[in-house]
Chain A
Amino acid sequence: MKVLWLQSGGCGGCTQSMLCSDPRPLFDELRDAGIEFLWHPALSLESGEEALAILEDCAEGRLAFDALCVEGAMLRGPNGTGRFHLMAGSGRPLTEWVERLAQRASWVFAIGSCTAYGGFSANTPGNPLEACGLQFDEQTRGGLLGADFRSPEGLPVVNIAGCPTHPGWVVDTLEKAALEGLKPEDLDEFGRPLLYAGGLVHHGCARNEYYEFKASAEKQSDLGCLMENLGCKGTQAHADCNIRPWNGSGSCLRGGFACIACTEPGFESPGHAFQETPKLAGIPIGLPTDMPKAWFVALAALSKSATPKRVRNNAVADHPVILPAIRKKGGGK
């Protein structure tokens, strides 16, 4: 599978993240799975005219490629000119290159939430950059390529959302496409591959005991659950961050800070401070997905009343101040 990669209104962090792929070196892993970069802006030798020749040949159908990966929001401004990003050396808006190349690709992958839904650049008040995703304006279908866009494989844009994307999300999705293709039913309604977006960030969270007892962190660096006070959206965000670790052993929650739902369209403007949970009458507004409010209130009241002292005290400290009791044979009282 030949991959052509372009970058625009983003930070390049999805590529930097992808380079952390393990356990095998990324280039070896992709090569052995039959995937090669025809051109990648951060990695390939070809520069300037050599690079433009490759892109032009691809856009004109003279050079075959299979997958178009785009990293970064599509900047259509100012006034529809695309001048917020003219591709260097070409004088043409990057959006125009993407439109031309997307017609030639068997698959189009949006790498990261900027590319999928518009990103921070689309979240300046009034969106003066006229930023959008490849096939979405935040939650609304459309974007640069339009709601009706389908690749020759019959797929809409595949949105490997995340800010950044986990290396495994990108590598696994590309490898699945190369191995057996992708079908519409492999994606959720926001175009995200179910292989990583089929569950919630909450699944596998190392703070689960605190969540169960509603033993909440009150300030940054506390060990408790981050949902009630510190803005965590792990119970609503679709991704497998706590099952598929980041950088060996990490995740946002394991790092001690809230999930800000970076795989969700519109996460950039949550309508409240990122690190605070908005509440109504003391109850968080954003309740866990699939959970009716009355149940949550009842469960929270019950579990708070049943919280062990260890869990309650440790929740508001940055290291365990009470260790789990050790049960001895014949003891128990």
Chain B
Amino acid sequence: MTRIVVGPFNRVEGDLEVSLDMADGRVKAAYVNSPLFRGFEQILIGRAPLDALAIVPRICGICSVAQSAAAAAALADAMGIVPTPNGVLARHLIQATENLADHLTHFYLFFMPDFSRPAYAGRPWHDAVARRFAAVRGEASADVLPARAGFLKLMGFLAGRWPHTLAIQPGGSTRAMTAGERIRLLAQLREFRSFLEKRLFGDTLANVARLSSKAQLLAWADGRPADFPVFVAAASDLGLDKLGRASDAFLSYGAYGIFPAGTWRAGEAAAFDPLAIDEDTTHAWLAQGNPRHPEQGETIVDANKAAAYTWCKAPRYARQAYEVGALARQVIAGQPLILDWVTRDGGSVMARVVARLLELALIVPEMERWVQALQPGEAFCTHGDMPDEGSGTGLVEAARGSLGHWLSVRRGRIERYQIIAPTTWNFSPRDGNQQPGPLEQALVGLPAGDGALPTVQHVVRSFDPCMVCTVH
């Protein structure tokens, strides 16, 4: 058996190293290393509780708002307040803008360039894909960068700027929309919808949202001149609908009041129990101990630990590894196309990408409804007092999946702050029972090494990893 070390694994957010034990040209075992440690949980200790709103966005430049929202939710929980109706809508809009912009960034800038690789020269789709999706030089960038920047102009109105806003507060948002701004938000959303319909889907969002099975999607995509259908053709040709399966155990905290929280495992949906989460440090360069619920979690560096191979803890739900992300959200929401796909073929590279892009078609119309529901003149923020002693939990869905913050306050200061980010779930190392994390499972059996197709690249990026969040 030989070992291959792959890194720097780029076009992910942050740095990533993957070690592959190989036999006969196939991966026998994979070990995922998140090589950067920044210590945000320690930075927060001793600060004023509301300082979390200024600090946690800086964990991540791509899920900055999701971090804000989780902190605001944890603080609101500790304060015993709920945001005003306008505040709820503003937060849905701010979170959705980031989440959907991230889906777009992932597809065009991080994921698709791998199909332009010379290894695929000769495939019927290769020349066209290389012309459109080559990294930096591809012609798609001239379409997608203005579309993304235009869409993020919603943040200029709603959140001041992106990334790293302080607009999201426990009681809602600092930025009330005026009647005139409401009209401009709708115009900005129309511009984005137009890009999606013309360039990404080649069809209306409503028609995409209506696709209800894998067979329907494949028939719909066949020969359609747009970016998503081009991906469907290339991914089908490469069999990416059968590659990169983890164990089809999915978790979602629920999003926007439209996608429910829950779990899904071996075809069985179940209610979500926040007390079933714990984190294991067996293979992280962190002090060893029994797995702990994040309310009691600790992050203590032990850089010389022999059994460790990453800075990432191993979060588990009922002692099992779970996959999070758009695919998990939509399986648990019972979205017909995704449920059909996963029931038929299980999770895969292709299913993850389809679920992500499907969310663009599902959520943009919701955003248009949320803007229309805003009531200018009514409060966008309510106010409350932070108790000197207390605790709170904030569970949200970032683009990449379930993000949780667990906070406790003592003598008016943050006593403990624990964070489990989406990629902490997906790229977790083995736990004390030697159970590999979802990516580690998904890589087993793949071809790798000299002369192999870049399948490993597709599988890793199909999770849309955010490494800076993973360890934080």
Contact = CB atoms under 8 A, between A and B. Distances in A.
A17 B145 CA distance: 12
B136 A44 contact: yes
A85 B36 contact: yes
B80 interface: no
A121 B59 CA distance: 10
A7 interface: yes
Nearest to A81: B303
Contacts of B6: 47-48, 89
B373 interface: no
A170 B379 CA distance: 37
B176 A319 contact: yes
B35 A47 contact: no
B271 interface: no
B156 A42 contact: no
A163 interface: yes
A256 B173 contact: yes
B166 interface: yes
Interface string A246-275: 111111111111101010000010000111
Interface stretch (A24-32, A149-157, A208-216): A24-32
B61 interface: yes
A249 B167 contact: no
Nearest to B5: A89
Nearest to B143: A25
A52 B155 contact: no
Contacts of B62: 11-13, 16
Given A10-B468, A251-B161, A21 B14 contact: no
B380 A12 contact: no
Interface string A1-41: 00000011111111111011111111110000000010011
B39 A121 contact: yes
A23 B169 CA distance: 31
A260 B6 CA distance: 40
B42 A124 contact: yes
B8 A12 contact: no
Contacts of A15: 61
A86 B34 CA distance: 10
Contact of A43 (B58, B136, B155, B379): B136
A205 to B, nearest CB: 12
B153 interface: yes
Contacts of A12: 13-14, 60-62, 468
Interface string B275-288: 00000000000000
Interface in B10-50: 10-11, 13-17, 33, 35-40, 42-43, 46, 48, 50
Interface string B453-471: 0000100000000001000
A101 B173 CA distance: 44
B156 A245 contact: yes
Interface string A74-108: 01001001011111111000100000000000000
B146 interface: yes
Contact of A247 (B61, B113, B142, B156): B156
Interface residues of B, number: 86
Interface in B59-88: 59-62, 64
Contacts of A75: 36-38
Contact of B51 (A7, A13, A52, A273): A273
B171 to A, nearest CB: 7
Contacts of B50: 273-275
A208 to B, nearest CB: 16
A46 interface: yes
B399 to A, nearest CB: 12
A247 B160 CA distance: 8
A87 B11 CA distance: 15
A250 B173 contact: no
Interface in B220-256: none
Could you tell me the dominant secondary structure of chain A's interface residues?
A: loop
Contacts of B40: 120
Contacts of A128: 39, 42, 301
Contacts of A46: 10
A88 B8 contact: yes
B60 A27 contact: no
Interface string B135-157: 11100011001101110111111
Interface string B79-119: 00000000000000000000000000100011001101100
A300 interface: no
Contacts of A319: 176, 178, 376-377
Contacts of B3: none
B183 interface: no
A236 to B, nearest CB: 16
A234 B373 CA distance: 33
With a 10 A CB-CB cut-off, give which of A46, A52, A129, A250 has the most chain B CB atoms: A250
A247 B10 contact: no
A120 B55 contact: yes
Given A11-B468, A27-B142, A120-B58, A85 B35 contact: yes
B10 A246 contact: no
Contacts of B42: 124-125, 128
Contacts of A56: none
Given A89-B6, A123-B43, A11 B59 contact: yes
A73 B457 CA distance: 28
Interface of A: 7-17, 19-28, 37, 40-48, 51-52, 73, 75, 78, 81, 83-90, 94, 119-121, 123-125, 128-129, 163-164, 219-221, 245-258, 260, 262, 268, 273-276, 318-319
13 contacts: A10-B468, A11-B58, A11-B59, A11-B468, A16-B163, A41-B15, A88-B33, A221-B175, A221-B176, A251-B160, A254-B175, A260-B166, A318-B381
Given A19-B149, A47-B9, A47-B10, 4 more contacts: A12-B14, A88-B8, A219-B383, A248-B152
Interface of B: 5-11, 13-17, 33, 35-40, 42-43, 46, 48, 50-51, 53-55, 58-62, 64, 105, 109-110, 113-114, 116-117, 134-137, 141-142, 145-146, 148-150, 152-167, 169, 171-176, 178, 301, 303, 376-377, 379-381, 383, 457, 468
